[in-house]
Structure 1
Amino acid sequence: MAGRIGHHVVSLPVPPRFPPSGRALQVEDVQDESDAIQRVQTALKDAGMERVSFAAEISPTGRAVLYLLDADSSAEDGLGPYPHSLILVEGSVPEPWRRLPDPAPDAVPASSANPAVLRRTLEERLDDAIGATDAEIAAAEERLGVALPDELKVLYGVTRARWQDWGEDYAAAERVRRATGCELFALDDLYIADAASRPCPWRFAAMEAVRTPPDAAVQGLVGSPGWIAFGDNGGGDRIAVDLTPGPRGHVGQIIMLSHEQSIGAYLLAGSLTEFVAGRGEDDDDDHQRDAFPAVAQVNVRDLAGIEAAVHQELEVLSIGVWEGEPLSLAPVTGLPRLRTLTACPGTLADPLEIAELTGLEFLELAPEEWRALLDAGAVPRSLSAAAIEVHGRPHPLTIVDLANEILSLWDRPAITRTIIEGDLAPDA
């Protein structure tokens, strides 16, 4: 048996429990399993640890060997016992998370932006609110490192949205929500929605690509130093003022960052005045939806071969389930922007062709393909992160050994194992 237990995530592949005939499964039917998990979680808390991966070998006689696996900073957390993305360069992030906004020197505020109208509207709706002082607004600007746009200053000049001011009065909080059109953050909770504020595991983030078409109102970024998050829609989606708009956008427009996506944002309104007035409309034109040619998927349902993926803009190549002859990577050799390659087992005609892809920063392969690269000394040294695609349920130690070989090429800390042996058989 192998799995992972953490404070909030449990991967424990025990056989399913079935209730007695005639009734549903009850809590007491799985109480022993729940108690065992709780004991491990308590031990983790006492040890100051977030999680532990493990593999247990138990013989019919009761002889047991328990392997505790700890990746420390060398691998990201996954759901099971196998290491997720291996971090080969400490602190590295995929290219989309390094991308800064393109300058928009000709962008101007929308015609609907009107601080005077915004103030009047808010004061009519919130006649008893406590506004922020000039000194409090200045302190927020110093903390954020950016000057707040006039409309945002007006908003917080009318209400600073602090719970202390409402005296735990939920009705007052609801009035502010209705007046502003969102769950407004307190002035002290404003933050810059930059890329660092939107973390994503390497394995998924490496598959993204920034794309901003010429007609886009919002740049297709992960985050921006010009996105000032000031509220929430009540469902976990952040609402922000955009000071770095896209080619067809306006400075100070209102955007929404979906919690279900790791990249891009939607236009809600041309200005904060328009947003508060309720005249804005969701822009459902998701420019990230069709990321080709930057992102190409070769498989039985999408592109019918490597040649169809070839493009000077190609950044991410994913080779999935494939029913034809194994594929050659020769057509994409030399492409200037290719940085991510993932390939299902057996889809590559010659894994050693990967050595010719000198710009890769992320590579995901099955153990067999990694073995070929390691034995030939052909692992690309341009990589910042890597992943081992695991099919089925191989023994975790075989995958850990392979991961440690890869990590050693970058002198990264190995995934450690602690071995505990004992006898679970009852005393004679």
Structure 2
Amino acid sequence: MVDQEPSAASMNDFATWEPVLRLLLAGRPHGPAGRPVQVSGRIGRHSWSLDLRRRMPAPGRAARAEDAREEFDAVRRVQSALADAGVDDVSFTAEIQPTGRTALRLLGPSPAVEPGIGTPHPGALLLVDGSLPEPWRRLPDPAPGAVPAPSADPALLERTLRERLPHAIGATEEEIAAAEARLGVPLPEELKALYRVTRARWEDLGDDYEAAARESTAVGCELFNLDGLYVADAGSRHCRWEFAAMEAVVTPPDAAVQGLVGSPGWIAFGDNGGGDRLAVDLTPGPRGHLGQVVMLSHEESTGAELIADSLTDLVLGIRPRARSGRAEEERPPVVARVNIASLKTVEAAAHPGLEVLSIGVWDGAPFSLAPVTGLPRLRTLTAYPGTLADPLEIGKLTGLEFLELGPREWRALLDAGAVPRSLSAAAIVVHGDQDPLPVVDLANEILALWNRPLIVRTVLEGDLGPVA
């Protein structure tokens, strides 16, 4: 890897980084005399990760912002430079000589690399531009026989809401039609009836918080206005590749809601007050109803929960009857974890429906991948460093779209020319305090196989003064 000379941008000015480097240097334990000090970290425009020993507040006193003022000021200086350069996130490593001479290496950015989490090491490598994990590509199954629930009653819904909200201002037919045109999908009759009673605009309430609370109570949620309606498709649920690749979606034959990340038939119209979105479901599961109300949890990346068989039921406070879910429980898991606390063999995980295999911490003999070779749906493999008997067996897994391995396992694949070409994304798992530079070089080797933009290393030199 050839290091680049710095440009004139403030992000590439050593003085911009000097306060951060001084903080890291001050927090490092003293090593052998005459030896250089290594520090590293990551700073993004909205977050950062630095190996700092923060001062504890005095006993009996809570931590205050001023306790970390020096850190905040140093980081904000870099964040301002990142914003000026149009860069979202950058990792770095620095070697500080006893004399204070310092070589700072900025690692990135690259449009083909997701930032690491709490680490200077790179996150997922995006090998195919615009690629998405399989659950994010999954569309709903057709439901041509789906009908509204018997309880769906637009007239009753509208009458009930008018009684509860006699002074509300409703949407015009023109406003409803404009929302349908923007969304590209007709609104179901119950949803139109709701908005004919109230268009849920804050300005209509005259900054009356009590009126807003009454409206939420009357409807059963914090209602979006017509401009806030959106289609909760898979694109509305962003998830990092290395997490999304570990997900799987399944729809049991007795399910009311299809197992999906998102659907073009989920029209989000409100919030439960805790960040979970409510949507009308126009693509129900085998046992569901057209227009049922589902909730998308903000703590989950896939799936939705049935909360009412109809919008009328939601307004009337009628909950759906519980369903058994036995069909789902009887299926072998499509996501299998082999480790000291879960399955103990790869054989136990293997079955034709397996999509994701995660091999975690293990204190026994390394595993062979022979039991999962040839499985038709296996698309994700993650393996803790040292858990594979022969990493080259990965070459026989011809359907992989995501692969996460340790540096040694990746080195074996690269040296043998055996990196699966079916991959859309990859990740290098690093544990402990490892030097980021070799990991970046390894990542660039993988990226180069797909002709993807490499992680650029920019070298900045400066002087921090003699190290105490």
Given the two structures, how large is their TM-score scaled by the length of structure 1? Answer: 0.95
Give the secondary-structure state (helix, strand or coil) at the position aligned to 2:426: strand
Q: In structure 2, what residue type is equivalent to 1:403?
A: A
Match of 2:339 in 1: 299
Identity of aligned residues (%): 68
2:256 counterpart residue number: 217
Per-residue deviation, 1:7: 2.5
Please report how far the alpha carbon of residue 329 of structure 1 lies from its aligned counterpart in structure 2 after TM superposition. Answer: 0.6
Residue in structure 2 matching 1:192, options 210, 226, 231:
231
Whether 1:86 and 2:132 are equivalent positions in the alignment is no
Matched, 1:151 2:201: no
- Tell me the equivalent position of 1:273: 312
- Which among 45, 50, 60 is matched to residue 7 of structure 1? 45
Counterparts of 1:222 and 1:28, CA distance in 2:
42
Q: Aligned residue for 2:20?
A: none
Shift of 1:17: 2.6
Question: Which ranges of structure 1 fall in alignment gaps of 5 or more residues?
Answer: none
* CA displacement at 1:167 relative to structure 2: 2.3
- Select the residue among 129, 137, 142 that pairs with 1:98: 137
Quote the residue 1:34 is aligned against.
72
Q: Closer, same or farther in 2 for the Cα pair 1:291/1:261, shift >3 Å?
A: farther
> Post-superposition shift, 1:33?
2.0
Matches of 2:453 and 2:241 in 1, distance apart?
Answer: 18
Is 1:354 the equivalent of 2:378?
Answer: no
Deviation at 1:171, TM superposition (A): 2.1
Letter in 1 for 2:111: S
Structure 2: how far apart are the matches of 1:61 and 1:283? Answer: 70
SS in 2 for 1:248: coil
Following superposition of structure 1 onto structure 2, how do residues 25-424 of structure 1 map, counting pairs within 5 Å? 27-79=65-117, 80-281=119-320, 292-424=332-464
Question: How far 1:261 sits from its partner (Å)?
Answer: 0.4
CA separation of 1:290/1:81 partners in 2, compared to 1, >3 Å: closer, same or farther?
Answer: farther
Where 1:317 maps in the other structure, the secondary structure is: strand
CA contact (8 A) 1:217 1:267 kept: yes
Residues 54 and 68 in structure 2, CA contact (< 8 A), matched pair in contact too: no
Q: How many residues align?
A: 427
Deviation at 1:164, TM superposition (A): 2.1
Q: Distance in 1 between matches of 2:168 and 2:321?
A: 29
Contact kept, 8 Å, 2:339 with 2:362, in 1: the verdict is: yes
Residue 156 (structure 1) shift: 0.7
RMSD: 2.0
SS at match of 2:91: strand
CA 1:183–1:291: 2 relative to 1, 3 Å: farther
* Mapped contact 1:211–1:219 kept (Cα < 8 A): yes
Query: Does 364-373 or 104-113 show the bigger shift?
Result: 104-113
The alpha-carbon deviation at position 289 of structure 1 amounts to: 8.8
What one-letter code is carried by the residue in structure 1 that aligns with 2:134?
E
Separation of aligned partners in 2, 1:244 and 1:21: 57
> Deviation string for 1:303-345 (max 9, x for gaps)?
1201111111010000011122111111111110000000011
Following superposition, which runs of at least 4 residues in structure 1 exceed 6 angstroms of deviation? 20-24, 284-291
**8 Å CA contact retained: 1:241, 1:252:** yes
